Structure formats: structure tokens, C-alpha cells
Chains A and B, each alone.
Chain A
Amino acid sequence: MELLYTREHEWIKIDGTTGVIGLTEYAVRQLGDITFVELPEVGREVRQFQILSSIESVKAASDIYAPLSGRVTTVNEALDTHPEIINEDAEGNGWLAGIEISEPAGKKALMIREEYDEYLRGLP
């Protein structure tokens, strides 16, 4: 099990060839109350750092980017009616989608937790 982060504040928990994707607590704190989550279509192929789906909060609408390339295998349907789960547990029950990873080499463009924390400290 490996947990990696993007500069756009997504996380991906990797177990073998599958990965579960979500937004970091930092991102969610910036967004405020989440009001809507557009879940990606199951079966869709996504490319690393391309738009996976979008999310809306009381403050803004934002895109969510795929941390790695792959095919969407599962989505967190509970978010359709209860997007607030993301505010309550961003890095756990508030996961967005699972993917079958097609290009694991993309991992070298992601950060481990220590690097992500360091990256956050450098943000304004």
C-alpha cells in the first residue's frame, strides 16, 4: 500500500494495480462546505493530470485531476446525495473514485506525504 499526492491536492492510495483517489484535507478546508460532486463515469479512461471530474463548494467550482493514468472502475456513489462526507472525512470515506492503473511509471511525478507537507508549507 502506497499513498501519494499531487500538487493539485489529490491523493491516491495504491494497492497493486488499483488506486483509490480523493481530495486532501488541505484542499477541502480551502473549498469549505462541499455541495456537489460530479462523479466520473465507470469505464472511462483517464490520463494523468487530466480532468477526472469536478467538485463544487459554497465558495467555488473546481476540477479534480487524475493522479495517474488508468480506467475508472468504481465511484463513491454516496457522494451524490451526501457530498458533505468529503468535509467530514476527506482522506477516508470521502474518496471519489477507484481506477485500474495503466501506467504505474507516472508515480515518480507524485509526492510522498513528507514531500506534500513540505509543498504545503511553501504555499502562500
Chain B
Amino acid sequence: MEEMKKVPLFSDHQRLGAQMALFGGWVMPIQYEGILSESKWCRESASLFDISHMGEFYFKGDVEASGLERLFSCDIAKIPVGRGRYGFLLNDAGGIVDDLIIFRLSCDEFMIVVNAATTEKDFQVILSGLHGDSIFTDISAATAKLDLQGPKSREVLAELFGESIRQCPYFGFSKMDLFGSEALVSRTGYTGELGYEIYLKSDSVAECWRRLLQDERVKPAGLGARDILRLEMGYSLYGSDIDESTTPLEAGLGQFVDLSRDFVGRDALLGQQQQGLARIRVAFRVNSRRSPRHDYQIFRAGARVGHVTSGVFSPILGCGIGVGFVSPEAALPGLSLEIRHETTSMAATVVRLPFYTEGSLRD
């Protein structure tokens, strides 16, 4: 039987009338009042997401001597204290074991934030790559995570938790006292809007959730809206767009890989770079309100050239949007594609990411 884990706020979601569904082994809220209205609210005001299913690890030790540095595609030794960076754990073939954010808490301390379904796998991968005397622990169970995202999120947080949050730069974080409990608040997110991710102790998440929802600028949003918002930005979803059989180069995520230094999977990526890519990520807009969906097939001039990995109806653009993998010649912006599934066919046009460019992300 499939594992069904509950987040600390499970009964809060039920009280709010959320539709719940299984996601990465967790019973999570998919929607409250409606997926489209929730995604609209996030782009206009501020939405609160319970993301407590995600995994968090704590590391303390020497990044180089411990071997930690070698495990990440990005150069974590160069992350300043108080900042985070997006990157990957890769396998020897360059395939993505997980995508993650790593925060530097102090000179020798890091917090690593990973996907829910991959938490246990990632922990073992990192643990087996470490040597010497370092501390490495899975703090997921004791850690809850709330995302407040939207153009009004900074105002809301500054009023509730103090003005210091205004100084937090993109991908920066600070430790704050939230209702008597220590929390880490980072200026990161998955929506393309100005926003914050709040890491706090599982036993104090309920108060923070309820207090934030008392603000009339804030409404709860579920994973359904989150999926639309992230795809409108072209952000990859692990398990859907990327997995162990895809490399960051194929997935259009080469800027999060530093090939000038040694790390697990680097040789494979260098080889791939030398030989050229057989397939690459493509982003396309459907020429109607139809939604492409995972595993729909992509055709170019009558020939199959790839498949869709994510697709939704974009409420802000008023059309279907999607990403997938195709042979490189089919990924040039402006090209016409056809998306097929059974008897359905939709015309689409290759575009550059992000789909949505008006977000408040950098405000």
C-alpha cells in the first residue's frame, strides 16, 4: 500500500474545505476555492502555500574536506553566508538525482532543501558521499515550510514580523523570531512573484499559518495553483520535467552547473557537451485554450520529435502552455509544432521562457 503522510496542518486544510490528494507520498491540499482564482490571487496579492512535505537537511563541517562540495553541481564553497543557491545532485551519468536549494547558514553550516518524494534517496546519496567528521542530519520531520508569494508578500511580512525583511535580497535569507519561535525566512519561491519561504518548527507552524491568513491580503493556495504558477515561469518540476534520466544540459538548466570544477556527474556532462545533445527542452504556447498534458506527443511537420513533460492552461496568458523534450532542431523559437494525444491535436508555437514576464519576482 502506498505510504500516506500527513503534514502538521492537515486538519487546518480540511477545515478550509481543501480538496486533498496524494503528492510524493503526502496528502496535500490541491485547491481551496479554485485553482484558477488561487493562481490569480497570487499574481495580484499574496498566497500562502503549505509546503511542509518538502525535505530539509542540516550539515555542519568543512565543505571541502567532508566531500560535500563535490556532490553539488553548483559551487557551494562560493555561496556567501546568508545566501542560498539553486543546484542539483547528479548521478555519474549526469542524470538529475534531485534539484534543490542550499543555504549557507554560517561558514561551516548549510541547510539543504529537497523534494518530498526524493528526501530519503537524497539523504543516502549525500551521506554516502561524505567522509571525515561532519554532522549531517535529516531535519524534515521537525521542519515545516510555508511559502508566502505575491506582490504584497513583503508588506504583509514586514507588518507582522518586522521591517528587517525588507532588506532581504533575492535568494538571501534571515533568521527571525515568529511568535516566539525561531524561523528561517528566505526570499525564494516557485511562482515568479516576489515571495518568501518560511522554514519553521513543525509545532509552531499552525500559529504562523493562522496569523498570516487573518490578513485580508492573504489567501491559501494549493498545489494546483502552484503548478500553474511555476509552469508560467518555466520552472522545472522534479519527477515530471526532470529525473535521473535527464541531465541539466538537456533540461535547459546549464546555468546552474559550474563545469569548471569537479563534481559528481561532471565528466558525463562534459561528454554530452562535446557530442552535442540528442534532445533538449522546448517551451511552447498552444494557439488555443487547450491544455497540453504530461506524455502528450510533439510533432513537427508530421514527424514525431518529442513529448510533453508538463502542460497547463495559463489563466494569465489565456492559452495552453507546455514544456517537453524534442530533438534540437524542433526547439527554435517561432517554429510551429503540433501536440497530439489520441484523437486530439493542438497547434503550438515554440517560445522562449519564461512564458510570463510581468511577475513581481525582482521588485
Q: What string of 1s and 0s marks CB contacts (under 8 Å) between B12-50 and chain A?
A: 000000000000000000010011110000000000000
B193 CB to closest chain A CB, in angstroms? 19
Q: Is the CB of B228 within 8 A of A58?
A: yes
Closest B residue to A87 by beta carbon equals B34
Closest A residue to B290 by beta carbon equals A36
Pick the contact of B36 from A36, A54, A56, A58 — CB < 8 Å?
A58
In this complex, the member of A32, A35, A36, A87 whose beta carbon has the largest number of chain B beta carbons within 10 angstroms is: A35
In the assembled complex, which residues on chain A have CB atoms less than 8 Å from the CB atom of B344? Answer: 54, 61
User: Which residues of chain B from 224 to 238 have any CB-CB distance to chain A below 8 Å in the complex?
Assistant: 224, 228
- The answer to whether A33 has its CB under 8 Å from any CB of chain B is yes
In this complex, the member of B291, B312, B320 whose beta carbon has the largest number of chain A beta carbons within 10 angstroms is: B291
B293 CB to closest chain A CB, in angstroms? 7
Q: Is the CB of B291 within 8 A of A56?
A: yes
Pick the contact of B313 from A36, A54, A87 — CB < 8 Å?
A36
Closest A residue to B224 by beta carbon equals A58
Bound together, the chains give a CA A32 to CA B288 distance in angstroms of 19
Q: Is the CB of B288 within 8 A of A36?
A: yes
User: Which residues of chain B from 333 to 349 have any CB-CB distance to chain A below 8 Å in the complex?
Assistant: 341, 344
In the assembled complex, which residues on chain B have CB atoms less than 8 Å from the CB atom of A58? Answer: 35-36, 224, 228, 312-313
B289 CB to closest chain A CB, in angstroms? 4
In this complex, the member of B35, B224, B289, B293 whose beta carbon has the largest number of chain A beta carbons within 10 angstroms is: B289
B333 CB to closest chain A CB, in angstroms? 25
Q: Is the CB of B289 within 8 A of A33?
A: no
Closest B residue to A54 by beta carbon equals B344
* Interface residues on chain B, size class: 10 to 19
Main secondary structure on B side of the interface with A: mixed
Q: Is the CB of A35 within 8 A of B228?
A: no
- The answer to whether A83 has its CB under 8 Å from any CB of chain B is yes
Task: Indicate whether A33 sits within 8 Å of B35 (C-beta atoms), given known contacts A56-B313, A58-B228, A58-B313.
Answer: yes
Q: Is the CB of B224 within 8 A of A35?
A: no
In the assembled complex, which residues on chain A have CB atoms less than 8 Å from the CB atom of B291? Answer: 35-36, 56, 61
Bound together, the chains give a CA A23 to CA B341 distance in angstroms of 23
Bound together, the chains give a CA A36 to CA B344 distance in angstroms of 13
In the assembled complex, which residues on chain A have CB atoms less than 8 Å from the CB atom of B37? Answer: 33
Q: Is the CB of A83 within 8 A of B34?
A: no
Q: What string of 1s and 0s marks CB contacts (under 8 Å) between A35-65 and chain B?
A: 1100000000000000000101011010000
In the assembled complex, which residues on chain B have CB atoms less than 8 Å from the CB atom of A33? Answer: 34-37
Q: Is the CB of A32 within 8 A of B35?
A: yes
In the assembled complex, which residues on chain B have CB atoms less than 8 Å from the CB atom of A59? Answer: 35, 224
Bound together, the chains give a CA A33 to CA B40 distance in angstroms of 13
Q: What string of 1s and 0s marks CB contacts (under 8 Å) between A59-91 and chain B?
A: 101000000000000000000000110010000
Interface of A toward B, CB cutoff 8 Å: 32-33, 35-36, 54, 56, 58-59, 61, 83-84, 87
Closest 8 CB pairs of A and B: A35-B313, A36-B289, A58-B35, A33-B36, A36-B290, A33-B34, A56-B291, A33-B35
Q: Supply 12 further A-B pairs (C-beta < 8 A) apart from A56-B313, A61-B291.
A: A32-B35, A32-B224, A33-B36, A36-B288, A56-B290, A58-B35, A58-B36, A58-B228, A58-B312, A61-B341, A83-B289, A87-B34
CB-defined A-B contacts under 8 Å, sample of 29: A32-B31, A32-B34, A32-B35, A32-B224, A33-B34, A33-B36, A35-B289, A35-B291, A35-B313, A36-B288, A36-B289, A36-B290, A36-B291, A36-B320, A56-B290, A56-B291, A56-B313, A58-B35, A58-B36, A58-B224, A58-B312, A59-B224, A61-B291, A61-B293, A61-B341, A61-B344, A83-B289, A84-B36, A87-B34
